[in-house]
Structures are given as structure tokens and as C-alpha cells.
């Protein structure tokens, strides 16, 4: 499971201020405990990876961080304040995310999709918007300009007028990231950003995430591609059955025998079955 590091190494983030801290997060659904006492600390300018087998609770934990779920126990502190379990409040505070399954407005252009993300930072009231007053026109022009800047930033500048549904799969992933960036986040959470991508698209995604990190935005990434995650991250947290198995540097995590066992097993169960038949 050892991965050769070929991507540029992230700079040390140990001295950065803590921007996101989850403490003792537990999420229960009836009698099922999907997340059990998970802690996570993210510092400014840091890329943190979240890995684990299918069903490990990674996306559920993401949902607790971003306000989609209210944790049964524990708390999430962002930029020194406890976050309310409300997605809009989380976005306004400065945390944005993408989803495992792409969620774009398929019948809107790429530019319009990014503009939707930007509207949380505008202040025109309903009446001004209905009558398209001067303030609305100024904010609309600024929103359009910023959306185009972000499309250029993620490499989709020439696709601004294409419908989202007509974009290649990898470009749809980048468009979703551009829309998240339109909210002016301090922390960006990416749920399997390379799922379904070919090797070239995966390399482009890695370069884009480094670029985002270098702009001062902390990044948290869920990913199943181990080569991608270990080349990308400063730290990696591995979840198994909703609990923290190990946390550390990519080198520490990928060489931990418990992580290898969690992904590929030991074969002991098969031997036991054979002995009992």
C-alpha cells in the first residue's frame, strides 16, 4: 500500500491557526451509531484527508461538519465559534463543500451555476431585485464578473456559456468546485473530487487543490484513491466503522498495518470459515 510521492509536497501547517475543530462528534440514526466520538482539527493553509472503507462514516461526518446533520453529541467550532446546524449559516460563516454525487443545475450555464453560489454574498433585497434597481444591477454585474474569474481559475473560462449537463464529467467536477469557491470559503470540503476521473483529470484535480491551498484556503478531502490522497495531504485521518482508526502524516497512515487490514483484510475470517465447514 506504499505510495510514491510525485506531487509537490504541501508546506508544513503546524504553525497555522486552527480554523476548524470538531470534538467528540457522534451521529446516531435510531440504534445505529454512524459516527462515534470523532475529533478533527484543521489549520489554516492545510490539506487534510479523510479515508476509510465504504460505510466508514466519512460522508456522514462531513454532513455533521457542514450543518446538514445536527450531531447527536459533540460540537463543531469554526473560526472560534460553535457552528449552528444550518447549512446556510455554515456557508455564510466561511465553509463550503462539494458532494459525492455531482449536484449542478443541469439546465443552467456554467457561468450561471457559479453565480448561484455567489448570491449568498450579495445584499439586494427582494423589492430591489424585482424592479432591478441600481444596487441590484451593480451587484449582478459584480457577481457575473466574479463567476467568470472563478471559471478562469479552475480552467473552465471558455465553457462559461455551455449548459452544465453538456460539460464533460471532469469539467462538471471542476464547475462544482468553482461554485463552492464563489461563496468565499475559508475551508473547502471536497467529497470524492476524483471519483470517476481518468488519470489526467485526477492530476488536474490535484493541481487545482494545491492551487486553492496556496490561495490561503484550507481543504478537507474525502477520497478512495490512495495514491491521490497520500500525495496531496499534510495529514490523513482514517475512519473505520465510524471511529478514528489512526491519524497522522501520509507516511505514518499508509504504513500502519491497521489501515492495510481495514482495506484488504487479513484473510483470518476465510480461514475460520474453512475450518468450521
Is 6 in the same domain as 79? yes
Predicted TM-score (pTM) of the model is: 0.84
- Residue 120: the pLDDT is 80
Dump the DSSP string for 227-257.
Answer: HHHHHH-SEEEEEETTEEEEEE-HHHHHT-H
Distance from C-alpha of 255 to C-alpha of 78, rounded to nearest angstrom: 31
- Single residue among 183, 213, 237 that ends a domain in this structure: 183
Return the closest-CA partner of residue 19 out of 76, 91, 99, 87.
76
- Residue 265: the pLDDT is 61
Is 251 in the same domain as 137? no
Helix (H) or strand (E) holding 150: helix 134-153
- Single residue among 183, 206, 233 that ends a domain in this structure: 183
Is 75 in the same domain as 176? no
Is 88 in the same domain as 199? yes
Is 173 in the same domain as 203? no
Return the closest-CA partner of residue 192 out of 65, 74, 54, 85.
54
- Cell numbers at 137, concatenated: 444591477
Q: How many domains does the chain have?
A: 2
Phi/psi of residue 41, nearest 5 degrees = -125, 130
For the purposes of burial, counting CB atoms within 10 Å of the CB of 22, is it exposed (0-12), middle (13-18) or buried (19 or more)?
buried
For residue 199, the 8-state DSSP code is H
Domain range for 62 is 1-94+185-277
Is 145 in the same domain as 157? yes
CA 42 remoteness from chain centre: 12
- Single residue among 168, 183, 198 that ends a domain in this structure: 183
Beta-carbon contacts of 117 under 8 Å, excluding residues fewer than 6 positions away, are 96, 147, 178, 179, 180, 181, 182, 183
Dump the DSSP string for 85-141.
Answer: S-HHHHHHHTEEE--SS----TTSBHHHHHHHHHGGG----HHHHHHT-HHHHHHHH
- Residue 11: the pLDDT is 46
Grouping H, G, I as helix, E, B as strand and the rest as coil, residue 6 is coil
Is 198 in the same domain as 67? yes
CA dihedral angle for residue 113, residue 115, residue 118, residue 122, rounded to 10 degrees: -140
- 105 with 165: CB under 8 angstroms? no
What Rg do the C-alpha atoms of the chain give, in angstroms? Answer: 20
Is 85 in the same domain as 9? yes
Is 6 in the same domain as 17? yes
Is 221 in the same domain as 200? yes
Is 156 in the same domain as 199? no
Q: List per-block mean pLDDT (blocks of 10 residues) for the chain, which spans 277 residues.
A: 43 71 95 95 95 92 92 94 88 91 92 90 56 71 93 95 94 95 95 90 94 96 91 94 94 90 60 41
What CATH number should be reported for the domain holding residue 232? Answer: 3.40.50.300
Is 87 in the same domain as 224? yes
Amino acid at each position: 500500500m506504499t505510495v510514491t510521492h510525485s506531487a509537490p509536497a504541501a508546506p508544513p501547517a503546524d504553525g497555522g491557526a486552527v480554523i476548524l475543530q470538531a470534538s467528540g462528534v457522534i451521529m446516531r440514526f435510531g440504534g445505529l451509531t454512524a459516527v462515534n466520538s470523532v475529533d478533527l482539527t484543521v489549520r489554516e493553509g492545510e490539506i487534510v484527508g479523510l479515508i476509510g472503507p465504504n460505510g466508514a462514516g466519512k460522508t456522514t461526518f462531513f454532513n455533521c461538519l457542514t450543518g446538514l446533520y445536527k450531531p447527536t453529541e459533540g460540537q463543531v467550532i469554526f473560526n472560534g465559534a460553535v457552528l449552528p446546524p444550518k447549512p446556510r449559516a455554515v456557508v455564510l460563516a466561511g465553509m463550503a463543500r462539494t458532494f459525492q454525487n455531482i449536484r449542478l443545475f443541469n439546465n443552467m450555464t456554467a457561468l450561471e451555476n457559479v453565480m448561484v453560489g455567489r448570491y449568498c454574498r450579495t445584499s439586494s433585497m427582494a423589492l430591489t431585485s424585482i424592479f432591478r434597481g441600481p444596487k441590484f444591477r451593480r451587484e449582478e454585474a459584480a457577481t457575473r464578473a466574479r463567476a467568470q474569474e472563478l471559471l478562469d481559475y479552475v480552467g473552465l473560462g471558455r465553457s462559461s456559456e455551455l449548459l452544465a449537463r453538456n460539460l464533460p464529467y471532469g469539467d462538471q467536477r471542476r464547475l462544482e468546485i468553482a461554485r463552492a469557491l464563489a461563496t468565499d470559503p475559508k475551508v473547502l470540503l471536497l467529497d470524492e473530487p476524483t471519483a470517476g476521473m481518468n488519470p489526467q483529470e485526477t492530476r488536474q484535480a490535484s493541481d487545482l487543490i494545491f492551487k486553492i491551498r496556496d490561495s490561503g484556503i484550507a481543504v478537507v478531502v474525502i477520497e478512495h484513491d490512495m495514491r491521490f490522497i497520500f500525495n496531496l495531504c499534510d495529514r490523513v485521518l482514517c475512519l473505520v466503522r465510524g471511529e478514528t482508526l489512526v491519524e497522522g502524516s501520509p507516511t505514518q497512515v499508509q504504513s500502519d498495518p491497521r489501515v492495510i487490514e481495514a482495506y484488504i483484510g487479513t484473510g483470518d475470517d476465510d480461514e475460520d470459515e474453512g475450518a468450521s465447514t
